[in-house]
């Protein structure tokens, strides 16, 4: 402040008093210490007076080189670091996006390997067919019932076929025996512990066996259960022959012959 005053006073010493601003006013202007109104008035004078402008220029303090250069360098350095930071952020974003894009593709390929093979049909499916998530075909209720009826019919046919391979006979001890393989093997069928049988006849599921003391047994379920029946006889039964489940004839050891036409409910002596 004092240096500026001395310089301004030296320059204005030779000029007329009252025509130029006070040295303190110029010094205050150089130090930016004037009010806006005083500053505007001084600027009007400086616009007209070259001598005061030169004096003010000499009174202005010299700028500090380091203070001027540092701000210009620091922004450049900051800009460089900012550029590097932005580049890192952009590169990271690209990597994340690419990774997100390719990961679903690999997941889809893995899922494709796990998927079960697709069931193909060469013919047009019927309307009553239903498909579930496992890929199997389920028939409708009507077709299921039809298949069930077919199974029953098939079972009945098999049962009839099996009956044709069933054979009945008597052992040497008078036991009833049955073969399920056309006589290859035999098994004893229990009927009565106290009886020894001498004659047997079979028609389908109906089996007739007779033995000592005129004992006669009948089974209507292929030997599953037995019922004692027949006329009151004393002599052993030696022969039985049924042509069908209703009509049959038997004979005893003393020569009597009995016949029935109602499946053994009633017997008549010939």
pTM: 0.42
Q: Which long-range contacts (CB under 8 A, 24 or more apart) does 112-121 make?
A: none
Closest alpha carbon to 214 in 266, 254, 241:
254
Pair 170, 200: CB distance under 8 Å: yes
Closest alpha carbon to 172 in 161, 156, 188, 160:
188
Residues paired with 259 in a beta bridge: 249, 268
Q: Which domains does the chain have, with CATH numbers?
A: 2-59 (no CATH), 166-269 (2.130.10.10)
By mean pLDDT, which of 22-26, 155-159, 191-195, 263-267 is the weakest?
155-159
Pair 173, 198: CB distance under 8 Å: no
pLDDT tens-digit series, residues 148-200 = 555 454 444 444 445 567 899 999 999 999 999 988 999 999 999 888 999 99
User: How far is 183 from 165, CA to CA, in rounded Å?
Assistant: 8
Among left, alpha and beta (phi > 0; psi -120 to 50; other), residue 135 is: left
């Amino acid at each position: 402040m004092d240096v500026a005053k001395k310089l301004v006073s030296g320059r204005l010493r030779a000029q007329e008093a009252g025509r130029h601003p006070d040295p303190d006013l110029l010094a205050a202007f150089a130090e930016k210490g004037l009010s806006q109104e005083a500053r505007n008035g001084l600027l009007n004078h400086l616009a007209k007076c070259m001598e005061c402008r030169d004096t003010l220029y000499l009174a202005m303090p010299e700028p500090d080189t380091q203070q001027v250069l540092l701000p210009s360098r620091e922004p450049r350095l900051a800009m460089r670091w900012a550029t590097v930071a932005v580049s890192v952020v952009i590169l990271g974003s690209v990597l994340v996006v690419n990774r997100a894009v390719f990961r679903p593709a690999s997941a889809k390929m893995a899922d494709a390997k796990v998927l079960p093979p697709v069931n193909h049909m060469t013919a047009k499916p019927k309307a009553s067919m239903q498909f579930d998530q496992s890929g199997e075909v389920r028939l409708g209720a009507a077709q299921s019932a039809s298949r069930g009826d077919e199974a029953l019919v098939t079972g009945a046919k098999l049962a009839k076929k099996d009956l044709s391979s069933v054979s009945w006979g008597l052992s040497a001890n008078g036991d009833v025996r049955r073969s399920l393989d056309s006589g290859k093997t035999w098994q004893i069928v229990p009927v009565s512990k106290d009886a020894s049988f001498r004659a047997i006849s079979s028609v389908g599921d109906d089996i007739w066996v007779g033995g000592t003391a005129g004992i006669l047994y009948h089974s209507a379920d292929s030997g599953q259960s037995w019922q004692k029946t027949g006329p009151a006889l004393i002599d052993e039964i030696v022969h039985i022959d049924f042509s069908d489940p209703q009509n049959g004839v038997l004979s005893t050891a003393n020569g009597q012959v009995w016949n029935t036409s109602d499946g053994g409910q009633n017997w008549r002596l010939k």
